[in-house]
Amino acid sequence: PSPRACQPHGANEEALRYEIEELKQKDLALDQEIAQLLSEGYSLEELEKHISLLHEYNDIKDAGQMLLGKLAVIRGVTTKQLYPEYDLELSD
The tens digit of pLDDT for each residue in 23-76 reads 999 999 999 998 998 899 888 888 889 899 999 999 999 999 999 999 999 999
pLDDT at res. 55 = 96
* pTM for this predicted structure: 0.53
CA separation for the pair 79, 72 (Å, rounded): 5
**Spans of all domains in the chain:** 7-41, 42-91
Q: Which of 5-9, 53-57, 60-64, 82-86 has the lowest mean pLDDT?
A: 5-9
DSSP secondary structure of the chain: --GGGGS-HHHHHHHHHHHHHHHHHHHHHHHHHHHHHHHTT--HHHHHHHHHHHHHHHHHHHHHHHHHHHHHHHHTS-HHHHTGGGT--TT-
Which pLDDT band holds residue 7 (cuts at 50, 70, 90)? low
